Amino acid sequence: MKVDNKIDPKELDDFPGEETPLEYQTETGSYNIFGFWMFLGAEIVLFSTLFGTYFVLIYRTDSSIPPTEVFSMGLVLAMTFTLLTSSFTSGLAIHEMRLGNVKRMMIWIGFTLLLGLGFLGMEIYEFVEYASEGATLATSAYWSSFFLLLGTHGLHVAMGVAWFIIILIQIKMRGLNPVTANKTFIASLYWHFLDVIWIFIFTGVYLLRLVIA
């Protein structure tokens, strides 16, 4: 395994042992992961606020088009499967990373990226479709909260895609080392988190519509 020669060897001494996963091997690396969990805590609060807003405004479509008339469950189901699969492939990438198979890991990250881009493409198509039927950010309180919640999630997915691309380039340039492994691990945590949020969106925004109409 190629080890980045710019890593401070002292830091490696602090976390010795072959059994320690690569991403935890530097002190900074383990801080980064713990810090990222804290950041995810903040993200949970952020999305909770958006969900809260959505549920407060759920009947406030005013005189605008109601969601029952525009939601297309087929597309939403496709988006759901795409994103859930991408979460699985990002997990496989981490599995390969732990085994030290750089090539396979990069392939799985590549799959994750493609699925993420596919999800984004479908979401953009969905938004354009809704807009053509008269539901935009400025239509009514309900649609404002709908687009803000889904838009925020979509923006996070786009950021995740950009992040994975940057990491892929770095692995290509510098090989797998405690630093790149750490970055990959954190990015995959982020990706799983976006998947969890989507499950809440799928049930709370789309499925709920089938029940309460």
Instruction: Please report how close the Cβ of residue 172 comes to another protein at its closest, in angstroms.
Output: 12
Is the separation of the CB atoms in 167 and 109 below 8 Å?
Answer: yes
Instruction: Please report how close the Cβ of residue 145 comes to another protein at its closest, in angstroms.
Output: 7
Kindly tell me which of 101 and 170 has the beta carbon lying closer to another protein.
170
Instruction: Please report how close the Cβ of residue 84 comes to another protein at its closest, in angstroms.
Output: 25
Alpha-carbon distance of 175 to 157, in angstroms, equals: 25
φ and ψ of 177, to 5 deg: -145, 175
Kindly tell me which of 6 and 103 has the beta carbon lying closer to another protein.
6
HSE toward the beta carbon, residue 36, CA cutoff 13 A:
18
Instruction: Please report how close the Cβ of residue 100 comes to another protein at its closest, in angstroms.
Output: 22
Residues interacting with another protein, by CB under 8 A?
Answer: 4, 6-8, 10-11, 30-31, 34-35, 38-39, 41-43, 45-46, 49-50, 53, 56-57, 60-62, 64, 137-142, 144-145, 148, 166, 170, 183
Per-residue DSSP letter, 207 = I
Is the separation of the CB atoms in 98 and 23 below 8 Å?
Answer: no
